[in-house]
Amino acid sequence: MREEEKKRTSQNSKIQRIIKKRWALPAIYILVAAIVLSAALWYQNAGSNSANPDDKKSAELGKNEKQPAVEANRSLENFSMPVKDQDNSVVKKDFYDEKASEEEKEAALVFYNNTYQQNKGMDIAMKNGKDFNVIASLSGKVTRVDEDSVLGNVVEIEHSKGIVTRYSSVQDIKVAVGDEVSKGQAIAKAGQSLLDEEAGTHVHFEIRKDDVAVNPKSFFEKSLADLQETNVAPDESEKVTEEDQSDAEGTKEENVSEGDTTEESQSKKTEDQGTPAEEKSEENTTDSQSKTN
């Protein structure tokens, strides 16, 4: 018993000696603070792991919302000419605009297969007549790549629902359906078409909303959002040029009619000139008969 009491007394005296040292109390405080802090962090992590599963769904939705972000970026982009070297380019045939002058509208007509058609875009070429890279006017997704001898091959890029740019009279196409293209990216080379052979090597460029062609010049350096807010009139934009065609046909008919009238007048004149001669011949015959008698 005495030995145990001695051991306890010696242990207590050791603890007291340690506590009396200067570093003892600060060390105890630091140890207690570390324990409390560790417990708090553990509790916080445990609470976040057991959070509502809807948070995980919302996080996943955030990952899948990259496409709308791309759409927003496209809306901030501006339409541009489908050629890089704009200074050396020339417009061979302009868009047929109902608001233009009669002279400008006449110049924007395309004559093919004995029919006059409105030009639904712009025919752009180089001043030197050489081929060139055709570039995307705006970022988007390729939705159409067709080989067409009349139009000279076609590439179509969708930029938003119902809004596309169309590039025809092209060759050496560098994209395929489903490709994502950036503004200014080369998609083909300029070529030729049967529809507008007079333009030579060129690209026929169109901007369409809900399959209605709009004047590209009206939207160059304007954003996709501007076109989205614009109302288009299908009956005006897609109207066939019956008046222009009838005028042309009327001119031809007038020329033919004038030619027929001239021929008839000449024929009648000839007949009139021939009548006196016949009468004179008959008189001479009568005189000779009377002398004989």
Q: Is 98 in the same domain as 180?
A: yes
Model confidence pLDDT, tens digit, residues 26-41? 777 788 888 888 888 8
Model confidence pLDDT, tens digit, residues 117-172? 999 999 999 999 999 999 999 999 999 999 888 888 999 999 998 999 999 999 99
CATH number at residue 170: 2.70.70.10
Asked whether residue 17 is domain-assigned, the answer is: yes
Asked whether residue 268 is domain-assigned, the answer is: no
Residue 202 Cα distances to 13, 73, 189, 194, angstroms: 103, 30, 9, 12
Q: Is 141 in the same domain as 13?
A: no
Q: Is 79 in the same domain as 27?
A: no
Asked whether residue 286 is domain-assigned, the answer is: no
How many domains in the chain? 2
Asked whether residue 66 is domain-assigned, the answer is: no
Q: Is 131 in the same domain as 226?
A: yes
Asked whether residue 211 is domain-assigned, the answer is: yes
Strand 122-126 with 154-160, pairing? unpaired
Model confidence pLDDT, tens digit, residues 168-214? 999 999 999 999 999 999 999 999 998 888 889 999 999 999 999 99
Full domain range(s) for residue 100: 75-244
Q: Is 45 in the same domain as 84?
A: no
From the number of C-beta atoms within 10 Å of its C-beta (0-12, 13-18, 19+), residue 228 rates as middle
